[in-house]
Amino acid sequence: MTHRTVLSADDVRRALTRIAHEIVERNHGVEEVVLVGLQRGGVWVADALGDVLRGIDAEHPVPIGSLDVSFHRDDVRLRPIVPGSVTDIPVSLDGTTVVLCDDVLFTGRTVRAALEALNEYGRPRAVQLAVIVDRGHRELPIRPDYVGKNLPTARDEDVRATVEGVTIR
Amino acid sequence: MKHLLSVEDLTADDIHRLLELTDHMVEVSSRPIPKVPALRGKNVVSLFFEDSTRTRTSFDTAAKRLSADTMNFAVSSSSVNKGESLRDTIETISAMGVDAFVVRHKSSGAPQMITRWTNACIVNAGDGWHQHPTQALLDCYTIRTNLNRRDGFDGLRIAIVGDIKHSRVARSDVQAFTRLGAHVTLVAPPTLLPPSLDGWPVEVSHDLDSLLADLDVLYLLRVQRERMDDALLPSLEEYSALYGLTPTRAARLAPHALVMHPGPMNRGVEMVVDPSELPGSVILQQVTNGVAVRMAVLFTLLGSGSAASIGESA
């Protein structure tokens, strides 16, 4: 099995910095922004974006939460439930702008489940989507608002995105 | 896993997996809207041929939190009173499209029998003196979380006190606790012990007081008052004096020790102290955890990736 590195750790860091600035620009600041990482791959993305945003605007710390969508998936029967992956939304989402964060955007089914799961925590004014990699092959009408890298892939390839970089195998 | 009939059928790994899934269900239950669509469209039927409030409502709540449809079959108003056999009852209800039956029956082995007459999953919610597997699982979960024993019960000392002979809870608990590595002692008058304990990996004692100080868990069973009629106990007062949790005994428990009871409690008999004043009492937690454990069981049987369902939908 061959490994191909597509983004280095530095590339990922730069992408996160750019996305953070785009979030500030698009929302005219971060006062109403809440970052929500999708379990499990998106949790580090939300944390990392939160770090950068704190550097940009230290006066308005952005709340960071996590969302487990396992039980909302349309393919719940096909996936094992991962221990320790839990939902933790620290604030009411009413009137906020939620930025869902994930590592890799693929079919869009996780995001669909997330939109449904999010309903239980209030009514955000808007929901946006930030991903490190958009690898295509969408099965639902879902598109990201912030993208680290658009990456053409074959359907059967495995894409991994972490702080250390993005690899395809 | 197609049915949950007995703790006997579960390996230690199976138990650990169910308890880990229970962690998820506890988290789901703590959400502002404690309901997820995981079992949407599944039909769960409760068949209780014996009285129960907590087990029935616990299963019902569990199924509803997973968005399953639930139906309660009340024996008192059913055709069972017109002489319908158990088999006909099962086949008739099955024909309406049932994914799981939750069964309580006074005869040991009834849930096992029912598996032959339907394709639905069967969950044993208590059969005779035989088994009550979800009670054992919720007891394990309660011990696991309170004593922080995620990896097993190695070295834990648990005493189960009371009417062991007629108790399905005791049978299921002994199997589950020992499978996870605990050291179990049964404490009861000789008349309330099974005639033979061959194959039970337990010790037996008739002297509760000598054990108290070393216990991590004191598990009290309900004394069934109808046992008095069978002359198995001279009097409730005597039972209480020898085996009840009195204030004196409660004071001798270790500070970390848990006091558990499957309910319903007989205050003044096995439970002489007020449990709400016992720091180690986790009796209400057992009830709360019961819902989450039953969610995990229903989800495992009806929702998660068994080999059969993986083929169907991809």
CATH of the domain at A132: 3.40.50.2020
Residue B227 has pLDDT above 80, yes or no: no
Residue B226 has pLDDT above 90, yes or no: no
At B239, list the tokens: 């039972």
What is residue A1's predicted lDDT score, i.e. its pLDDT?
58
Nearest to A72 among B20, B21, B36 (CB): B36
Residues from chain A that touch B1, judged by Cβ atoms under 8 A, are none
At B32, list the tokens: 């502002």
| Angle value at C-alpha B263, between B52 and B58, nearest 5 degrees | 50
- Sorted by sequence, the CB contacts under 8 Å of residue B307 that are 6+ apart come out as none
Which residue of B lies nearest to A90 if distances are taken between CA atoms? B31
Instruction: Kindly report the nearest CA distance between residue A113 and chain B, in angstroms.
Output: 10
Domain ranges of chain B: 7-131+288-313, 133-283
**Best interface-test mutation with A: which of B22, B28, B301 has the largest number of A CBs within 10 A?**
B28
What is residue B305's predicted lDDT score, i.e. its pLDDT?
44
Instruction: Kindly report the nearest CA distance between residue B19 and chain A, in angstroms.
Output: 10
What is residue B235's predicted lDDT score, i.e. its pLDDT?
86
Residues from chain B that touch A83, judged by Cβ atoms under 8 A, are 20-21, 23-24
Report how far residue A131's alpha carbon sits from residue A146's, in angstroms, rounded to the nearest whole number: 6
- Give A15-56 pLDDT, tens digit per residue: 999 999 999 999 999 999 999 999 989 999 999 999 999 999
At A81, list the tokens: 């439930």
Residues from chain A that touch B314, judged by Cβ atoms under 8 A, are 78
The boundaries of the domain holding residue A91 are 4-168
- Under 8 Å between Cβ of A130 and A145: yes
What domain count does chain A have?
A: 1
What is residue B236's predicted lDDT score, i.e. its pLDDT?
87
Report how far residue B259's alpha carbon sits from residue A52's, in angstroms, rounded to the nearest whole number: 49
Report how far residue B276's alpha carbon sits from residue B253's, in angstroms, rounded to the nearest whole number: 16
Q: Is the dihedral of CA B166, B172, B177, B179 positive or negative?
A: positive
The arithmetic mean of pLDDT across residues B111-132, rounded, is 96
Report how far residue B266's alpha carbon sits from residue B285's, in angstroms, rounded to the nearest whole number: 18
- Give A73-112 pLDDT, tens digit per residue: 877 766 777 777 788 999 999 999 999 999 999 999 999 9
Residue B53: other Cβ atoms inside 10 A: 9
Residue A100's beta-bridge partner residues? A36, A129
Where b means 16+ CB within 10 Å and e means fewer, A37-68 reads: bbbebbbbbbebbbebbeeeeeeeebebbbbb
B7-131+288-313 placed in CATH 1.10.260.40: no
Residue B147: other Cβ atoms inside 10 A: 16
What is residue B77's predicted lDDT score, i.e. its pLDDT?
63
- Predicted confidence band of residue B307 (pLDDT cuts 50, 70, 90): very low
What is residue B306's predicted lDDT score, i.e. its pLDDT?
44
Where b means 16+ CB within 10 Å and e means fewer, B170-194 reads: bbbbbbbbbbbebbbbbbbbeebbb
What is residue B112's predicted lDDT score, i.e. its pLDDT?
96
What is residue B314's predicted lDDT score, i.e. its pLDDT?
28
- Under 8 Å between Cβ of B264 and B244: no
Report how far residue B171's alpha carbon sits from residue B165's, in angstroms, rounded to the nearest whole number: 9
What is residue A37's predicted lDDT score, i.e. its pLDDT?
97
> Is A80 within 8 Å of B304 when comparing Cβ atoms?
yes
> Is A77 within 8 Å of B303 when comparing Cβ atoms?
yes
Report how far residue B28's alpha carbon sits from residue B14's, in angstroms, rounded to the nearest whole number: 21
Amino acid at B142: T
Pairing of strands A97-105, A33-38: parallel
Report how far residue B123's alpha carbon sits from residue B56's, in angstroms, rounded to the nearest whole number: 12
Is it true that B7-131+288-313 and B133-283 share their CATH fold?
yes
Residue B12: other Cβ atoms inside 10 A: 14
Residue B171 has pLDDT above 90, yes or no: yes
Instruction: Kindly report the nearest CA distance between residue A106 and chain B, in angstroms.
Output: 16
φ, ψ at B175 (rounded to 5°): -65, -45
What is residue B313's predicted lDDT score, i.e. its pLDDT?
32
Instruction: Kindly report the nearest CA distance between residue A157 and chain B, in angstroms.
Output: 18
Report how far residue B107's alpha carbon sits from residue B144's, in angstroms, rounded to the nearest whole number: 31
Catalytic site positions of B: 54-55, 82, 104, 132
Q: The tokens 């019960």 sit on which residue? A: B153
Which residue of B lies nearest to A82 if distances are taken between CA atoms? B21
Residues from chain A that touch B24, judged by Cβ atoms under 8 A, are 68, 70-71, 81, 83, 85-86
Residue B238: other Cβ atoms inside 10 A: 12
Q: Is the dihedral of CA A145, A150, A156, A161 positive or negative?
A: negative
Mean pLDDT of chain B: 91
Where b means 16+ CB within 10 Å and e means fewer, B268-298 reads: ebbbbbebeebebbbbebbbebbbbbbbbbb
- Predicted confidence band of residue B234 (pLDDT cuts 50, 70, 90): confident
According to CATH, the topology of domain B133-283 is Rossmann fold (3.40.50)
φ, ψ at B69 (rounded to 5°): -85, 140
Residue B310 has pLDDT above 60, yes or no: no
